[in-house]
Amino acid sequence: MKNERIEKLVSYFAKHYVNRYWVLLIDTLTSVVSTVLVLGVFDYFSSNQLSAGSYLSVAGASALISLISFFTTRSYAGIVRHTTMREMWRISFASIIKGVLDVAALFVFISYSEGTGFSSNWVLLFAVLDMILTLFLLIMVRILLTNIYSVLSLSAAPEYYVKNTLIFGTDDDSVYTLNFLEKTLHSSYRCAGFITHDTHDKSKLLCGYKIYHIDNKRDFARLVTSRMISAIVFPSNVAARNEQDNLVKFCSERRIQILVRPSLATFDESIFRNKIREIKIEDLLGRDEIKISILEIREFLTDKVVVVTGGAGSIGGELCRQLVNMPIRKLILVDFAETPMHNMQLELRSQAPRVEKKFVIADVRNKDRIDALFDKYRPNVVFHAAAYKHVPLMESNPVEAVQANVFGTKNVVDASIRYNVEKFVMISTDKAVNPTNVMGASKRIAEIYVQTVGKEIASGRTPGKTKFVTTRFGNVLGSNGSVIPLFKEQIAKGGPVTVTDPRIIRYFMTISEACSLVLEAATMGEGNDIFVFDMGEPVKIDDLAKKMISLAGLQLGKDIEIKYVGLRPGEKLYEELLKDEENTLPTVHKKIFRAKVREYDMAEVDRELENLRVAALGMKKDDTVLAMKSIVPEYKSANSRYERLDS
């Protein structure tokens, strides 16, 4: 019963911070106590004893002076249990201001009081002592409250649930990780020390905790056993990545939980409510953190009405999550899928209340519905992420791929022109480069239409003011239907893990990285641009599967098998981001390049699209694919029934 009450108390404090005016009251009382204590010491050594009225007068003056000092420095506004050096400086300045005001107040007190036994020579000493004691007591109060939170947090968790944890490294990031562990309520991880390969730090203490040195797997096993270690926390993805063949591997073999501290880039105003999380395979793929020009993006999006098609999908959904944190006026999410849209509504409804959000069920293939939507909301910026994306499915359903990816895009593009959208941003794919499947070819045709319409507007041959930007990137980690969730599910079931071909490679990027670069490209695009993202080094899917098996603490060949099932229809071994004939130009962002692509004649594109429309409306698969190959001559089918059409 007692533990249940503590859990409720901790739960309350995890969700609520103490009102700052309560903090102001506590600080003021602490400051008054300091003044009275110093006055008592002076009174004890004086020849004449002060009356109770004198004590009350000094206490009242101290309270007024303290309030002035605290309001001036706002030292009470910080969150007590997360006190940092910045708050310590505020407290110090408040104490100094109090000391200065003490001098003035004491001279007034002495001049109007008879027989105090104090000379003016004592005033400066009194003020200095009061200042020092006030600072000391204020710091002690914060330390006390912080420790109370920590004790309550540990008391709320059963002893068997508290895990002895080692923090990797001994640098500043590792110290920050310790602070993060200690200041996060409901933390079930208790620091047992720091772990490092550096012999220079051997036998030293850091923040009162021992630093353990390990050279090999045997040292690690001995340490884990002797200290009953259950988890290792890495201060960053980079630290974990550098240790993936050493410490991460050791932990996986011994079933030690591998954790990573949230990146500082992900923190918001509720910084310490972020959780220490388990490491993900994405953390080990060797990508540097991508930096974007956030101020320019915010300036570009200020007070804009933004439409995101496919807003409930993997890419569209993440775009919406990032957009609600921008100074936009209204966000319109458009998607055909009811349940994912409902989930997005539940997620975003309470976020960024200043941004008006509309959740619209609509199909981009329905021209009249898209027109009505644009007429109602009059968007300034459109992010077009709605598309069918699964290669094998589209290989079996080319008509649907064309209707959604080509003519759905055309409907949104045409509406954008009619309703004077400022900027249209299309989300494309690396599979549009030298396509070998229906999905990639359909996205390339959509690119061609967007590019050609943009050229017509820029030349003045077609009226309109919309600027068109296309962004290409590769596979997105963790997106719906991607390989990582599939591998996780297969590993959880005991295998086998299915890999199409041991030679197959893919470019990968996290969803948040991809969407950040989309926003950056949208900002820098001047119209009729195709931007290609630097996806880093390609990843061998076979190696990815092996890493995930190891990370799960399993041994390949003993606990689980990899099964090679052969390439799927339309799939190729190597993805490309640019055609061989294309060149790229650098941009102001080192991760974004501008592609130089072949230009098309608008009349020719319209004629070819009409042929494609007729074939698709007739539900004729072969005719539809032939029409696609006519528009995109470089489209050569691979591992597909449509290979015969290439001849």
pLDDT in tens, 222-242: 888 888 888 888 887 778 777
371 CB contacts (<8 Å, ≥6 apart)? 415, 418
Question: In this structure, are residues 28 and 66 in contact, taking their beta carbons and an 8 Å threshold?
Answer: yes
Single-letter amino acid, residue 322: Q
Range of lowest pLDDT (174-183, 483-492, 512-521, 622-631): 174-183
What integer pLDDT is reported at residue 302 of this predicted model?
92
Angle CA 535–538–540, to nearest 5 = 150
Tokens 């388990």: give the residue: 278
Provide the pLDDT for residue 271. Answer: 37
255-299 per-position pLDDT tens digit: 788 888 766 444 343 333 445 666 666 666 655 556 667 788 888
Mean pLDDT of the chain: 80
Where residue 528 falls (left for φ over 0; alpha for ψ -120 to 50; beta otherwise) is left
Inform me whether the pLDDT recorded for 159 exceeds 70. Answer: no
pLDDT on residue 427:
93
Query: Mapping DSSP to helix (H, G, I), strand (E, B) and coil, where does residue 562 land?
Result: strand
Average pLDDT over residues 123-135: 81
Which H/E stretch holds residue 207?
A: none
Instruction: Pick the more confident residue, 404 or 483.
Output: 404
Residues in Cβ contact with 331 at an 8 Å cutoff, skipping those fewer than 6 apart: 306, 308, 320, 323, 324, 355, 356, 357, 358
**181-204 pLDDT tens trace:** 766 544 577 788 888 887 776 667
Predicted local confidence at residue 120, as pLDDT = 59
Q: What is the pLDDT of residue 372?
A: 96
- Which residue in 289, 339, 300 sits closest to 323, CA to CA? 300
Two structure tokens written together for 219: 């040292």
- Whether the CB-CB separation of 107 and 150 falls below 8 Å is answered with no
Residue bearing the bigger pLDDT, 217 or 334:
334
**DSSP conformational letter for 203:** T
Please state, in angstroms and rounded to a whole number, the distance separating the CA atoms of residues 509 and 511.
Answer: 6
Model pLDDT, residue 446: 96
CA distance 237 to 24: 39
Query: Looking at the DSSP assignment, which residues form a beta bridge with residue 231?
Result: 165, 257
Q: Which of 81-85, 159-163, 210-214 has the highest mean pLDDT?
A: 210-214
pLDDT score of 605: 93
* Closest-CA residue to 391 (of 626, 642, 580, 646): 642
**Predicted confidence (pLDDT) per residue in 29-62, tens digit:** 888 888 888 878 877 776 666 677 777 877 888 8
What pLDDT was estimated at residue 584? 66
Is 431 a catalytic site residue?
Answer: yes
Q: What is the pLDDT of residue 576?
A: 63
One-letter amino acid at 232 equals I
Given the structure tokens 């772990």, which residue do they identify? Answer: 195
Rounded mean pLDDT, 301-314: 93
Q: Which domains, from first to last, does the chain contain?
A: 2-156 (no CATH), 159-279 (3.40.50.720), 294-631 (3.40.50.720)
Q: Is the pLDDT of residue 325 over 80?
A: yes
Comparing CA positions, the residue from 167, 164, 95 lying closest to residue 132 is 95
Which pLDDT band, with edges at 50, 70 and 90, does 3 fall under? low
Query: 168-202 burial string, b = 16+ CB within 10 Å, else e?
Result: bbbeebbbebbebbbbbbebbbbbbbbbbeeeebe
Which tops the pLDDT comparison, 184 or 476? 476
pLDDT at res. 269: 37
Catalytic residue among 431, 547, 591, 621: 431
Report the alpha-carbon distance of residue 263 to residue 274 in Å, rounded: 10
Rounded CA-CA distance 111/159 in Å is: 62
Q: How far is CA 274 from the centre of its chain?
A: 11
What whole-number percentage of the chain has pLDDT above 90?
26
Q: What is the pLDDT of residue 84?
A: 62
pLDDT over 70 (residue 581): no
Query: Does 502 sit behind a cis peptide bond, omega within 30 degrees of 0 on the bond before it?
Result: no
- Give pLDDT tens digits for 385-397: 999 988 889 999 9
Give the Cα separation of 27 and 137 in Å (integer): 9
- Cβ–Cβ contacts within 10 Å for residue 49, how many? 10
The residue type at 526: E
417 vs 395: CA distance, rounded Å:
31
Q: Identify whether the C-beta of residue 407 lies closer than 8 Å to the C-beta of residue 365.
A: yes
1-5, 443-447, 480-484: which has the minimum mean pLDDT? 1-5
Distance CA 143, CA 81 (A): 8
Cα distance between residue 254 and residue 257, in whole Å: 9
Taking residue 103's Cβ as centre, other Cβ atoms within 10 Å add up to 14
Coil/strand/helix, residue 443: helix
Question: Which three-class secondary structure state does DSSP give residue 472?
Answer: strand
Whether pLDDT at 456 is above 80: yes
More confident residue, 120 or 377: 377
Given a cut of 50, whether residue 209 has pLDDT beyond it is: yes
Q: What is the pLDDT of residue 186?
A: 47
Query: Among 425, 405, 407, which Cα is nearest to 416's?
Result: 425
